[in-house]
Amino acid sequence: LKGVSARALGIGREDDVGYVQCPDPGEPYTCGGTVVFELRREVL
């Protein structure tokens, strides 16, 4: 695997799975709020 582990980046408890949270600005496409993305490091 290449890259930095999610644990080292401080975005996850496991090496290969992390989460980032982004504000959703809302209009015109959504009602706003927060979006959470799950990031996975996989073998290609």
Domain boundaries, position 18: 6-40
36 inside domain: yes
- CA 16 – CA 11 distance, rounded (Å): 10
26 inside domain: yes
- CA 35 – CA 28 distance, rounded (Å): 16
pLDDT at 42 over 90: no
1 inside domain: no
Q: What is the pLDDT of residues 6-41, one digit of tens each?
A: 999 999 999 999 999 999 988 898 899 999 999 999
pLDDT band at 43 (very low <50, low <70, confident <90, very high): confident
pLDDT at 1 over 60: no
24 inside domain: yes
- CA 29 – CA 41 distance, rounded (Å): 29
> What total of structural domains would you count in the chain?
1
29 inside domain: yes
User: Which residues, other chains included, contact 6 with Cβ-Cβ below 8 Å and sequence gap of 6+?
Assistant: 12, 14, 15, 16, 17, 18, 39, 41
11 inside domain: yes
